[in-house]
């Protein structure tokens, strides 16, 4: 029998790579859309996978790419934009979502899975979170069989959390830390991918939104401290107050690659932590993977420190 085909936007990204591997394992055929085929070369050898280069903002290209698919998954998201007026977020999160939904409707694709973000809301303090909420509104009103996922910060090999601070602390003996008290509930990229795969096979997830978080809540300062322990480094971490955090955001806003922006600062003013009655992984019966079970391996730490952190976690300390 022919395999069900899934079309993915954002399939060559951090979450996308983990999801593609799990989808192939689950028996799906994949079409991965990308701006540059070479950027997805590590996915070329996945069984029953086609990597298609094209402009996802082109309606004709999108209709062709989704035609005949059993489902479409949209993982596209950006953390920063050029400038600070919201137009970049609007284009990536809202305009693209509108085009993808229209392509699905025109091609007769009825199943659509969407990546959003925890704290997305129309009255959120950042362009990022407001644009994510606007996209959710479009999805909910589309008339398709939709499922929305809203993760906290996602960790795993190659992430922008532990790996990022590993790189920063490798270079700097002193680390000024904006938003040090901001709290997150890091969720493993594999668990997020499992949630998407589960939803494809479970009709009960249609029309639902799932907030995704891991088993532990960590402040940003705790994330940095954990990273330092895994590497066996001693660094001076200087938590910045709100005023100095704003100054840091203003400066880094204009650095190459925009490592930290005013909009990031506004997003971090909200703790990215699940409400007690909105635990998506628990609702989907997906066991939560801890930071201690995964991060020591990809930060390269072995032996006593890694074992100590796992024991401490099991002890609830």
Structural domain count of the chain? 1
**pLDDT for res 55:** 97
Judged against a pLDDT cut of 70, whether residue 306 lies above it is answered with no
Asked if residue 149 lies in contact with residue 114, where contact means CB atoms within 8 angstroms, the answer is yes
**pLDDT for res 304:** 44
Q: Give the residue from 222, 228, 156 showing the smallest Cα distance to 187.
A: 156
- Per-residue pLDDT tens for 10-49? 999 999 999 999 999 999 999 999 998 888 888 999 999 9
Q: Which residue has the tokens 């392509």?
A: 103
Instruction: For residue 257, tell me if it sits in a domain.
Output: no
Instruction: For residue 91, tell me if it sits in a domain.
Output: yes
Q: What percent of the chain has pLDDT over 70?
A: 94
308 pLDDT band (50/70/90 cuts)?
low
In this prediction the pTM is 0.93
Instruction: For residue 55, tell me if it sits in a domain.
Output: yes
Instruction: For residue 161, tell me if it sits in a domain.
Output: no
Q: Which helix (H) or strand (E) holds 50?
A: strand 49-53
The mean pLDDT value for 58-76 works out to: 98
Instruction: For residue 241, tell me if it sits in a domain.
Output: no
Extract the tokens encoding 197: 């795969």
- Per-residue pLDDT tens for 139-168? 999 999 999 999 999 999 999 999 999 999
Largest Cα span, the chain:
61
Please, what is the end-to-end C-alpha distance for the chain in angstroms?
51
Instruction: For residue 85, tell me if it sits in a domain.
Output: yes
The mean pLDDT value for 50-79 works out to: 97
- Per-residue pLDDT tens for 201-224? 999 999 999 999 999 999 999 999
Per the structure, the complete domain to which residue 115 belongs is given by 5-156+186-212
Question: Which DSSP state fits 39?
Answer: G
Instruction: For residue 129, tell me if it sits in a domain.
Output: yes
**pLDDT for res 303:** 38
**pLDDT for res 39:** 84
CATH number at residue 95: 3.40.50.720
Q: Give the residue from 148, 98, 312 showing the smallest Cα distance to 222.
A: 312
Instruction: For residue 305, tell me if it sits in a domain.
Output: no
């Amino acid at each position: 029998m022919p395999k069900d085909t899934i079309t993915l936007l954002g399939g060559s990204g951090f979450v996308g790579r983990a999801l593609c591997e799990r989808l192939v394992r689950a028996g799906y055929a994949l079409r991965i859309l990308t701006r540059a085929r070479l950027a997805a070369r590590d996915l070329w050898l996945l069984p029953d996978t086609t990597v298609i280069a094209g402009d996802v903002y082109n309606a004709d290209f999108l209709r062709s790419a989704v035609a005949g698919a059993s489902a479409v998954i949209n993982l596209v998201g950006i953390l920063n934009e050029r400038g600070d007026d919201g137009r970049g977020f609007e284009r990536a999160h809202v305009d693209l979502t509108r085009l993808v939904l229209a392509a699905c409707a025109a091609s007769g694709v009825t199943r659509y899975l969407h990546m959003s973000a925890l704290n997305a809301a129309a009255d959120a303090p950042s362009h990022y979170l407001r644009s994510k909420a606007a996209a959710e509104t479009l999805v909910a009103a589309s008339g398709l069989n939709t499922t929305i996922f809203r993760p906290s910060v996602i960790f795993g090999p190659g992430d922008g959390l532990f790996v990022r601070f590993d790189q920063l602390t490798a270079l700097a003996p002193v680390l000024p830390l904006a938003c040090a008290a901001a709290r997150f509930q890091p969720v493993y990229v594999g668990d997020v991918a499992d949630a998407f795969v589960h939803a494809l096979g479970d009709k009960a997830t249609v029309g639902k939104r799932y907030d995704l978080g891991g088993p532990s809540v960590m402040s940003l300062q705790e994330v940095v401290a954990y990273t330092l322990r895994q590497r066996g480094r001693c660094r001076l971490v200087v938590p910045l107050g709100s005023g100095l955090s704003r100054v840091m955001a203003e400066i880094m806003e204009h650095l190459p690659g925009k490592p930290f922006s005013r909009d990031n600062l506004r997003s971090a003013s909200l703790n990215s932590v699940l409400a007690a009655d909105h635990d998506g992984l628990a609702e989907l019966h997906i066991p939560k993977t801890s930071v201690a079970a995964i991060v020591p391996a990809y930060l390269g730490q072995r032996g006593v420190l890694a074992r100590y952190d796992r024991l401490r976690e099991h002890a609830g300390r």
